[in-house]
Chain A
Amino acid sequence: DIQMTQSPSTLSASVGDSVTITCRASQNISPWLAWYQQKPGKAPKLLIHKVSNLLSGVPSRFSGDESGTEFTLIISSLQPDDFATYYCQQYSSYSPRLTFGGGTKVEIK
């Protein structure tokens, strides 16, 4: 199975900061990578699919990028609504078993 290693597990930042969350896949999965935001007590919300495609309604301060098997979620100018936990998820066409990263909690500094 494809493993997704996400870092950091926790990130402390202030409103206005730019933050980067990284996910490394155990094998090539490009471009089958999605990012989700989850707030306490709620279901996750899909933000980005296929590495860098923002869902309709997702603010443009969110962006996704890749370099080989490493994928990044960048939030430029963090807003109060962005403090949440973020997960990456692979859905490679070569592996029907889907996997999530371990999550990154973005906390207020």
Chain B
Amino acid sequence: QVTLKESGPALVKPTQTLTLTCTFSGFSLSTSGMRVNWIRQSPGKALEWLARIDWDDDKFYSTSLETRLTISKDTSKNQVVLTMTNMDPVDTATYYCARIPQYDYGFDYWGQGIMVTVSS
């Protein structure tokens, strides 16, 4: 079955770089049409899409955050990594990875999320 799981630090200091890993199973990111995304949700707030990486290694970023984000994949390890530089307390949120299985679909599988707090 399809699963995704986020991993990374629960606490980072302001100005540090956050590195999150999404480890998935039950599908391959080399399958045509497959996409893995990162989405975050600040406490009590709405969902915010951050970045996407496609089966063909195309990458897309949120306009407001693209200077701070880098997404990459390791198909052999079934992992997608997101880095976010210059962390700030406003970046405190639950970070999710989620799959899109084909171009005309929404996020059909999500990880459980990882809560990241930015504080000195």
Contact = CB atoms under 8 A, between A and B. Distances in A.
B57 interface: no
A103 B106 contact: no
B47 A91 contact: no
Q: Name the interface size band of chain B.
A: 20 to 34
Contacts of B107: 34, 36, 44, 46, 89
Nearest to A1: B63
Contact of B62 (A34, A45, A89, A97): A97
A96 B63 CA distance: 11
Interface residues of A, number: 24
A34 B106 CA distance: 6
Main secondary structure of the interface of A (DSSP, over half): loop
Interface string A39-65: 000011110011000010000000000
Contact of B47 (A44, A49, A55): A44
Interface in B31-64: 37, 39, 46-49, 52, 58, 60-63
Contacts of A36: 47, 106-107
A91 B106 contact: yes
A99 B106 contact: no
Interface of B: 37, 39, 46-49, 52, 58, 60-63, 96, 98, 100, 103-108, 110-113
